[in-house]
């Protein structure tokens, strides 16, 4: 027997319809690429997104066609999103920090027909133009007045949508229709495309809202520093509109001073970004003796939250930190560190200890850890294994079948992360499977070593990698980037680790480098480090 209820397809156009109808005057504030702060509203954004739809239809874009963006977080970027998604096209967000040839590779693989690009990134396209094979039209996200000289057949966005109808119909297609495409940065092999559906994006939106997740309300002002090309700005491009929260978009400026200015001027209550961004902000606050009177909550993920950042927000600035773990393949939320009942009101040290972990899954996410043979491991908070995930918005595979079947017999996806789980499903990521250091058959967590090392004031960044050892197979080498003007010694760095790790985890050596290389998503590029140090001989070898 079937229920007798309405059929209301879960498509993302309904999210912006809802925002325009119920929160029409709520603002979307952008630090524009042209310079000035620009203000628009959900109602205006809705009309302009419909104009984008009309302009795309004029270019012959059909359901399932890929429309790409290479853009900062801005109201215009939001318009492109909803404009493409609303008519059933697939919005493909490209990460501009990738190498230009890799960008072309991704655009070709996705078979992008249209590219909407910020002026900042136009030179990337011009420089690699010979490699792009499927692009038919370039739309530059600016007006005629600011349109740069270009050798490409490109039109300014404002001119392109000018005069287009603001009442193009949206939706009317199946909720399982593809909606968005996002490639993972591919630290191994070629990048792979994660193809979100309307249904999974809408369900993920519902999942992000509750108090134990991102805790969003129409009264909030949200600054997504996390880029829209990183898994939908962790869903915020949808969830802010779903509740009618005011949005503040940072555009191209993500340095400490610029972010502080937005937080303060716009009275931001919730913000989200990777740890690197918060380090820059915290430095700015300290140097200028500033505080954060409006900010209630900061969501931090993408890599483990260093204790220094956690303590600064919680203890110095009285801002609640939500430590989140996820990946492009998980839409991206997997787990979040809202305090469980028994820790609400607990002493600060217990709360800090909990928040250093990656938190727990919201409803809609299931987790397990397994050994290399796929056998379930105990949830004792100590045993670590491969973290496997199943849920309402988790990838089943990659675009065009790259990489083959990605699910195990129970339908779980292998995250490539190594973690412990406790009986409440609290996750602690100990490593990425490919980064774990295997010493005498036992695993050493590179993340732990790095996080403790960066706690030393003379250390700006640290990375631990496994180096060949004749007896133990691999032993850890700690690579350190000193803080500006500092010259830490090996002894000082190792002393920082002492007592905080098992003795046998102590790195066999410390190497100092001017700069630790970062990848396109701002994470340490271990592949590059392993290459640099491939002939390194440990003093213990
Ligand atoms: P990639 O870096 O491979 O392009 P993503 O940007 O999707 O992919 O990043 C996902 C990965 O980032 C996770 O698999 C995990 O290794 C790491 N990660 C994300 N959040 C956290 C966190 N809070 N703590 C530790 N690692 C994290």
What is the CATH architecture of 437-532? Answer: 2-Layer Sandwich (3.30)
Going by CA atoms, what residue is nearest to atom 24 of ligand 1? 304
**CB under 6 Å to ligand 1: residues?**
184-185, 187, 301-304, 323-328, 358, 415-417, 429, 432, 521, 523
* H-state helical runs in 290-412: 307-311, 348-355
The whole-angstrom separation of Cα 210 and Cα 36 is 34
What's the gap in Å between 528 CA and the centre of ligand 1? 18
pLDDT in the model for residue 306: 86
pLDDT in the model for residue 189: 66
**Closest listed residue to residue 30, CA positions, set 282, 237, 206, 179:** 237
What's the gap in Å between 327 CA and the centre of ligand 1? 5
**How would you class 290 by CB atoms within 10 Å of its CB: exposed for 0-12, middle for 13-18, buried for 19 or more?**
middle
- List residues bridging with 507 in a β-sheet: none
pLDDT in the model for residue 188: 55
- List residues bridging with 368 in a β-sheet: 388
pLDDT in the model for residue 401: 92
Give the catalytic positions in this structure. 184, 329, 438, 443
pLDDT in the model for residue 190: 78
366-432 CATH fold: Luciferase; domain 3 (2.30.38)
Going by CA atoms, what residue is nearest to atom 7 of ligand 1? 327
Instruction: Please state the domain extents for the chain.
Output: 13-207, 366-432, 437-532
What is the CATH architecture of 13-207? Answer: 3-Layer(aba) Sandwich (3.40)
In angstroms, what CA-CA distances link 152 with 127, 137, 434?
Answer: 10, 9, 41
In angstroms, what CA-CA distances link 385 with 377, 406, 495?
Answer: 7, 17, 29
pLDDT in the model for residue 186: 54
**Closest listed residue to residue 335, CA positions, set 347, 345, 323:** 323
Phi, psi (deg, nearest 5) at residue 409: -60, -30
**Closest listed residue to residue 77, CA positions, set 230, 267, 220:** 230
**Which segments of the chain have a pLDDT < 70?**
185-189
What's the gap in Å between 325 CA and the centre of ligand 1? 7
What's the gap in Å between 170 CA and the centre of ligand 1? 34
Residues 6+ apart with CB under 8 A from 92: 66, 67, 68, 69, 107, 110, 112, 180, 181, 182
**How would you class 133 by CB atoms within 10 Å of its CB: exposed for 0-12, middle for 13-18, buried for 19 or more?**
exposed
The whole-angstrom separation of Cα 200 and Cα 178 is 9
């Amino acid at each position: 027997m079937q229920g007798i209820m309405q059929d209301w397809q879960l498509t993302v156009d309904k999210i912006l319809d809802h925002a325009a109808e119920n929160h029409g005057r709520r603002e979307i504030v952008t630090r524009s690429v042209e310079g000035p702060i620009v203000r628009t509203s959900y109602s205006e954004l809705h009309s302009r997104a419909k104009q984008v739809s009309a302009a795309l239809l004029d270019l012959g874009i059909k359901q399932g066609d890929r429309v790409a963006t290479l853009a900062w977080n801005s109201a215009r970027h939001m318009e492109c999103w909803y404009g493409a998604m609303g008519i059933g096209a697939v919005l493909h967000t490209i990460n501009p920090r990738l190498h230009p040839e890799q960008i072309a590779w991704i655009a070709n693989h996705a078979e992008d027909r249209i590219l909407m690009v910020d002026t900042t990134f136009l030179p990337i396209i011009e420089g690699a133009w010979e490699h792009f094979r499927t692009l038919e039209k370039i739309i530059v996200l600016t007006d005629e007045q600011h349109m740069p000289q270009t050798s490409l057949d490109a039109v300014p966005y404002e001119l392109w949508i000018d005069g287009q109808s603001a009442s193009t119909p949206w939706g009317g297609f199946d909720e399982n229709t593809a909606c968005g495409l996002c490639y993972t940065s591919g630290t191994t092999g070629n990048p792979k495309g994660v193809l979100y559906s309307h249904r999974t994006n809408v369900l993920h939106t519902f999942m992000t809202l509750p108090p134990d997740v991102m805790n969003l309300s129409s009264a909030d002002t949200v600054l997504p520093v996390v880029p829209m090309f990183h898994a939908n700005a962790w869903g915020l491009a949808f969830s802010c509109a779903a509740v009618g929260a005011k949005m503040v978009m940072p555009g191209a400026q993500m340095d400490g001073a610029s972010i502080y200015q937005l937080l303060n001027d716009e009275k931001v209550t919730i913000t989200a970004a990777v740890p690197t961004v918060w380090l820059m902000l915290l430095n700015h606050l300290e140097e200028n003796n500033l505080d954060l009177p409006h900010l209630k909550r900061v969501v931090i993920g993408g890599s483990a939250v260093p204790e220094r950042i956690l303590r600064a927000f919680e203890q110095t600035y009285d801002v609640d930190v939500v430590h989140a773990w996820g990946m492009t393949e998980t839409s991206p939320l997997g787990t979040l560190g809202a305090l469980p009942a028994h820790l609400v009101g607990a002493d600060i040290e217990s709360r800090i200890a909990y928040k250093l972990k990656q938190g727990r899954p919201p409803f809609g996410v299931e987790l397990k850890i397994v050994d290399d043979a796929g056998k379930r491991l105990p949830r004792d908070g100590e045993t670590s294994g491969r973290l496997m995930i199943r849920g309402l918005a988790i990838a089943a595979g990659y675009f065009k079948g790259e990489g083959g079947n990605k699910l195990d017999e129970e339908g779980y996806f292998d995250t490539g992360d190594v973690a412990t789980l406790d009986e409440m499903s609290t996750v602690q990521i100990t490593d990425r499977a490919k980064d774990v250091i295997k010493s005498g058959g036992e695993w050493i967590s590179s993340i732990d070593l790095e996080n403790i090392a960066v706690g030393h004031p003379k250390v700006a960044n640290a990375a631990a990698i496994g180096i060949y050892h004749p007896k133990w197979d691999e032993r850890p080498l700690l690579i350190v980037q000193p803080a500006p003007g500092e010259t830490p010694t090996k002894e000082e760095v190792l002393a920082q680790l002492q007592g905080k790790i098992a003795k046998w985890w102590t790195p066999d050596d410390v190497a100092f480098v001017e700069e630790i290389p970062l990848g396109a998503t701002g994470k340490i590029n271990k592949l590059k480090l392993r290459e640099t140090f491939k002939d390194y001989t440990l003093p213990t070898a």
